[in-house]
Structure 1
Amino acid sequence: MPIALTCFQGRAGDHNDLGIPGAKSVAAHLARKLGLETVTVGDPEPALNGHWAVELEAAMPALKRMRDRFDVVYAEGSFSLAATSRCAVSLATLPALARHHGNAVVVWFDAHGDLNTPEASSTGYLGGLALSGPCGLWQSGLGGGLSIENIVLVGQRDLDPFEAELIEAKRIPHIRPGANLPQRLTEAVAGRPVYIHLDCDVLSPGIVPTDYQHENGLSLDDLRAACAVLAGSEVVGLEIAEFQNAWEEGGDPVSPEPLIEALEPLLQKLRR
């Protein structure tokens, strides 16, 4: 299966200006490692750090282009590999995934659930609505189609009450950090095709620069072990979000190489 590498460079509910160059760095490392050409979607703009409705309106042109890009990638029968600045880009990617791979399980690596609705959100942050929109819990304007039954959450440890109640009511598999994570992930995926969303804040603080830091996350070894499990399934796509290119504004660039090395079980499968 050919690999289509996409780098998202538009607005997507950014709190700061570190995620867009972070995505560019991730895409550049993947391109060199796998010998790929990169298709870039969107143009860098300063962060607004605003309410979700303001952010969505500002991001909509680039998000629609990203959705269209994914439709083309999957219509051509390619594997989608994407570096996305923020989780809100999934408002565009996952509806396209659902149209072309409706049986795929979205394995959502993240410190958060991102399952809030606009009414339930206490922060008004667009990224907190990134998974609920594709599931049809609210109308983003970018489509839905993703079944809640096709979600597996991994690494969440900062859930809002609405999200916790939804996870319990819908019996969404929630694999917390800790012992036997690979086994629990294997059981949750249950042999189904998978699409992987990796928010870098699923990792413990201090491993890579991220907007949010929450203690007791995954290590790079944990991530590698999870990737080894998922490589045993049919994998239809991987998106890497929320890698910031520095620890602080104006700081020295940080390489994503250790993160990408932890993905090696999946990348090795792509090279076959």
Structure 2
Amino acid sequence: MSASDLGLLVFVGPTGDHNDRGMAGAPIVGRELSRRLGLEPTVIGEPRPATSAPWEQALPAALPGLTELRDAHGHMLSRGHVPILAASRCAASLATLPNVAALRPDAVVVWFDAHADLNTPAGSTTGYLGGLVLSAAAGWWDSGLGSGLSPDRIVLGGTRDLDPPEQALVDEGTVKLAAGPHLMDHLDRYVGDAPVYFHLDCDVLEPGTVPTDYRVPGGLDLDDLAAVARRLGRNDVVGVEIAEFEAADPDDHTDYARPLVDALMSLWAPQSTHL
């Protein structure tokens, strides 16, 4: 895969954030991706002070930015390009997953996240918009941004903090879970040689690996993540998302996103992992 096949998006808008650090972190990841891939990013959204608003308030406030993201992301996919997205929070995927369902229905969405994000508004105990993403994409509630993703095209990766209704979806086989000591075997079984749309929520990593909001023990380290990237990079990777990377300041130019991007490089350019 060459750089001409890729497109770089950076989403910095609000999505019911608990704090401002995700909106500040996305540009840091975006800068490192831009440096490594030689791509000029398209920046979407306007940062706003975090409100911790429940989904009923967060979604209308986020819709203008998410609609712009949906259109830019869909344009890339429709032209056969591979969108690489650095997003403030995983709720940005409300805008992207319907595009995958419509334009790449053959792809498996491989969702690496400590949480399943399969709650619905009716069943959510927190009302947090980010916890409702995959259920919206599957059409279990209407976000206003589209749906169409078949649950049998979802593979959760490294997920270890599931609410009882989400665990039931795994137990009954509605969605698949690749986790634990047999994670790589699970990926072989559930993904096979299908095209892959890869989502990374940074809290899937062991707390302290990179700065992120939630801290759920028992996560992957960067070597584990690199092994996942090498495995999935053997498939046709049709898109990648990186969300929930935090920073204190959007003008922070430190390179602590570099190890994260290093671990992921095999998704796009196996020959460039030592650049």
What band does the TM-score fall into relative to the shorter chain? over 0.9
Match of 2:94 among 65, 69, 91: 91
Could you state the TM-score of these two structures normalised by the residue count of structure 1?
0.94
What residue is the counterpart of 2:42 in the other structure? 39
What residue is the counterpart of 1:126 in the other structure? 129
C-alpha separation in 2, matches of 1:253 and 1:44: 20
Equivalent runs, 1:223-234 vs 2, <5 Å:
223-234=225-236
Equivalent runs, 1:173-184 vs 2, <5 Å:
173-177=176-180, 179-184=181-186
C-alpha separation in 2, matches of 1:171 and 1:77: 30
What residue is the counterpart of 1:52 in the other structure? 55
In structure 2, what residue type is equivalent to 1:224? A
Are 1:10 and 2:4 matched, yes or no? no
Query: What's the % identity of the aligned pairs?
Result: 49
C-alpha separation in 1, matches of 2:185 and 2:122: 36
In structure 2, what residue type is equivalent to 1:266? L
More moved, 258-267 vs 110-119: 258-267
Q: 2:238 is paired with a residue of what secondary structure?
A: strand
What residue is the counterpart of 1:138 in the other structure? 141
User: C-alpha displacement at 1:183, in angstroms?
Assistant: 2.2
C-alpha separation in 2, matches of 1:141 and 1:168: 29
Distance 1:252 1:227, change over 3 A: closer
Match of 2:115 among 112, 115, 131: 112
Are 1:156 and 2:163 matched, yes or no? no
In structure 2, what residue type is equivalent to 1:104? A
Deviations 1:60-97 (A, max 9, x none): 11001111111111111101100011010000000011
Q: Does structure 1 retain, via aligned residues, the 8 Å contact 2:158–2:183? A: no
Distance 1:216 1:34, change over 3 A: same
C-alpha separation in 2, matches of 1:227 and 1:94: 20
C-alpha separation in 1, matches of 2:153 and 2:15: 24
Question: Any stretches of 5+ residues in structure 1 without a counterpart?
Answer: none
Could you state the TM-score of these two structures normalised by the residue count of structure 2?
0.93
In structure 2, what residue type is equivalent to 1:184? H
Distance 1:236 1:120, change over 3 A: same
What residue is the counterpart of 2:206 in the other structure? 204
| Consecutive aligned runs of 4 or more in structure 1 exceeding 4 Å deviation | 251-254, 269-272
Q: Does structure 1 retain, via aligned residues, the 8 Å contact 2:265–2:272? A: no
Q: Does structure 2 retain, via aligned residues, the 8 Å contact 1:70–1:97? A: no
Question: Any stretches of 5+ residues in structure 2 without a counterpart?
Answer: none
What residue is the counterpart of 1:168 in the other structure? 171
Number of equivalent positions: 270
C-alpha separation in 1, matches of 2:102 and 2:270: 24
Q: Does structure 1 retain, via aligned residues, the 8 Å contact 2:155–2:190? A: yes
C-alpha separation in 2, matches of 1:152 and 1:42: 28
Q: CA RMSD in A?
A: 2.1
What residue is the counterpart of 2:82 in the other structure? 79
C-alpha separation in 2, matches of 1:94 and 1:234: 17
User: C-alpha displacement at 1:169, in angstroms?
Assistant: 2.4
User: C-alpha displacement at 1:57, in angstroms?
Assistant: 0.8
